[in-house]
Every structure is written in C-alpha cells, then in structure tokens.
Amino acid sequence: MEKRYNPFSLDNRTVLVTGASSGIGRTTAIECSRMGARVIITGRDQARLDSVSQELEGEGHLSLTADLTQEDQLNQLIEQLPVVDGVVLCAGQGTVVPFKMADRKKLDPIFEINYFAPVELLRLLLKKKKLAPAASVVFVSSIGGVDSITIGNSIYGASKAALNSAMRFCALELSPKKIRVNSVCPGMVNTRLIQGGAVSEEQHQADMLKYPLKRYGEPEDIAHGIIYLLSNASSWVTGHSLVIDGGYTI
C-alpha cells in the first residue's frame, strides 16, 4: 500500500530517549515507535524498561540501562549506541524546597541529573561522532525554566533555566552541521514526578483550575510536541523553547 503524506513521520530514524522507563519519556518512546522510529530507550530501572520495550511498535529497538549521573555508566552507554538521528533528553527529577533550605546538598543532585547529565550526554555524542548529519536534539525542560516562578521551585527551575540556556548555545554552535537543538517546556503533567509528594490530590485539583484549559497535561501532550521537533515538520526550527502548558503561562 502507498504511504500517506506525513511530514511528522519518523520513518527510518533512530531516536535515543533518556528517562524512557517512566512518564513523559516512556510515552515519547512509544509514540516515536508508532511514528516509525527505531527507538533506543534508557533509564535506571531494568524492569520498567522491559515493560516499555513490550509496548514499542516495529522492529530493531534497543534497551540500555544506565544511571546518567555516573560517569562510567554514561561512557558505557555512549559506547553501546549506534549513530542516532534524534535525541530526547528527558531523564530528570523534581524537588520542592523552600529557598532557605536550598543548600548544596539539595541543589547538587538535582543539577547533576537535570542539567549536567543531559549536557554531558550531548557533548559525548558529538565527540564520539554518534549524531547523524541534520540530527534533532530535544531537551525536556519545564515552564519553571522560562517564566513560571513559584514558591519552593528555585532549585528545579534554575536547573531547567540552565538547560534552556545551554540549548540555545548548542543550537548556534551546531547549526553549521545542520543539527537542530530545541527544548520543550511542559506545565504540570500527570506522571510519577508530581504524584505522591507533599501536595494532596485536592490541592492538585485546585491548581488545575489555574490552567486556562482546566486540566494538567498528559504525557502524550508533550510527546507529540517532541515528535514535531524531531521530525522534518520542524526543519527550520532551532534554538526554540516550545511551551506546552494548557495556557498556564499566557
């Protein structure tokens, strides 16, 4: 059967997704496979990765465990990778800490995974020539990294703001190679990251009403923005932070 026109297709692309064992990364990996990509999923938890592998459509996918904050595991991951056409740097962690308590003990681990790990991973991909010409890189940042300033989020927001800044420098430096670098900045999304914390379900329900579209995001809402940035549909887009937040930051 003849293929239908689809500028968002990821046919014949190999896409690496970090944080693919849960939440936004998990759904992004599955949706990328449904759009035709061969997907390489990575996370720390082998069992969770195995369950994602079972949901990937198509053939030739790869699952690799690694803690991205551990230099030896990061290097090993890079060695095992083929050349990739797309990279989604989604692994990250949240924290809510009043600024007075935001000392280096709390700050460093969040910066390790939210900022240093994705930036170093991208640097190593380039150094080891694992990025295909005209590859697309997508950092998963947050509205906390652009203009949503909320109480208790100074560490998390600063780590994501740093990521957005690095993204723009990389976009400029890699443009001669036609490699595009962008970020997505989600508002609150229903994943493990926002569940089970200090915030009750009633508080979440009240918070949702502050969103013009009156709901939190679902992982698919973010995955589809990422697919746009990975695909040829965005071939003239680089250095951009795509806010996906149900109108929260209007």
Question: DSSP of 195-236, one letter per residue?
Answer: SSSSS-HHHHHHHHTTSTTSS-B-HHHHHHHHHHHHSGGGTT
Q: Which two tokens stand for residue 46?
A: 């082998």
Query: Smallest distance from the beta carbon of 52 to ligand NAP, in angstroms?
Result: 9
Does position 194 interact with ligand NAP (CB under 6 A)? The reply is: yes
User: What's the start-to-end Cα distance of the chain, in Å?
Assistant: 44
Q: Which of the stretches 43-51, 96-104, 121-129, 165-173 binds ligand NAP when contact is defined by CB under 6 A?
A: 43-51
Residue 132: helix, strand or coil by DSSP?
Answer: strand
Query: Smallest distance from the beta carbon of 187 to ligand NAP, in angstroms?
Result: 7
Residue nearer to ligand NAP on the CB measure, 36 or 217: 217
Among 36, 86, 92, 157, binds ligand NAP (CB under 6 A): 92
Among 148, 153, 191, 238, binds ligand NAP (CB under 6 A): 191
Q: Which is nearest to 37 in space by CA: 10, 60, 62?
A: 10
Does position 96 interact with ligand NAP (CB under 6 A)? The reply is: no
Does position 19 interact with ligand NAP (CB under 6 A)? The reply is: yes
Cβ proximity of 17 and 40 under 8 Å? yes
* # of chain residues touching ligand NAP (CB under 6 A): 28
Site string for ligand NAP, 148-187 (x = CB under 6 A): --------------------------------------x-
Taken in order 62, 67, 68, 74, the sign of the CA dihedral is negative
Strands 84-89, 241-244: pairing is unpaired
Does position 67 interact with ligand NAP (CB under 6 A)? The reply is: yes
Among 29, 39, 119, 140, binds ligand NAP (CB under 6 A): 140
Among 97, 107, 193, 199, binds ligand NAP (CB under 6 A): 193
Among 69, 75, 165, 249, binds ligand NAP (CB under 6 A): 69
CA dihedral 185, 6, 25, 176 (to 10 degrees): -60
Does position 240 interact with ligand NAP (CB under 6 A)? The reply is: no
Does position 225 interact with ligand NAP (CB under 6 A)? The reply is: no
Tell me 37's DSSP state.
Answer: -
Among 14, 17, 22, 228, binds ligand NAP (CB under 6 A): 22
Q: Which is nearest to 26 in space by CA: 235, 193, 240?
A: 193
φ and ψ at 218, to 5 degrees?
A: -105, 155
Q: Which two tokens stand for residue 124?
A: 């190593």
Cβ proximity of 87 and 15 under 8 Å? yes
Give the interface with ligand NAP as residue ranges (CB under 6 A): 19, 21-25, 43-45, 48, 67-69, 90-94, 113, 140, 142, 186, 188-189, 191-194
